Amino acid sequence: MSDNAPQQQLLHLVIGGELVDLEHNTFKNLDDVEIVGLYPNYATAHAAWRAKAQSTVDNAQMRYFIVHLHRLLDPNQESKPAR
């Protein structure tokens, strides 16, 4: 595969914030939910998620999530690992 070939774009969104409790994925305050960013593949989204999660390790209520937007945009699309 040549370097100029377009890569498949699998959009991912990284968001996070403080949760009400550790049993549920319910944010304490939706106004404070942080949108970390939108990424073209899982690998870059995972790197951003890891950096944010590690930076808030002292707050047990903080959680960050990777949202697979490509699955929402096209639910029939098969997910393939990024290379």
Structural domain harbouring 42: 12-68
Distance of CA 55 to the CA centre of its chain: 15
pTM greater than 0.85 (yes/no): no
> For each successive 10 residues of the chain (83 residues), what is the average pLDDT?
64 96 93 96 96 94 94 69 51
pLDDT digits (tens, 9 = 90+) for 62-82: 999 999 998 888 767 655 555
| Residue 4 domain-assigned (yes or no) | no
CATH at residue 51: 3.30.70.2400
Exposure of 37 in the CB half-sphere (CA atoms within 13 A): 13
Query: How many structural domains comprise the chain?
Result: 1
Q: Is 22 helix (H, G, I), strand (E, B) or coil?
A: coil
Residue with tokens 């949760």: 19
| Residue 63 domain-assigned (yes or no) | yes
CA distance 54 to 83: 24
CB atoms within 10 A of CB 37: 14
Distance of CA 31 to the CA centre of its chain: 18
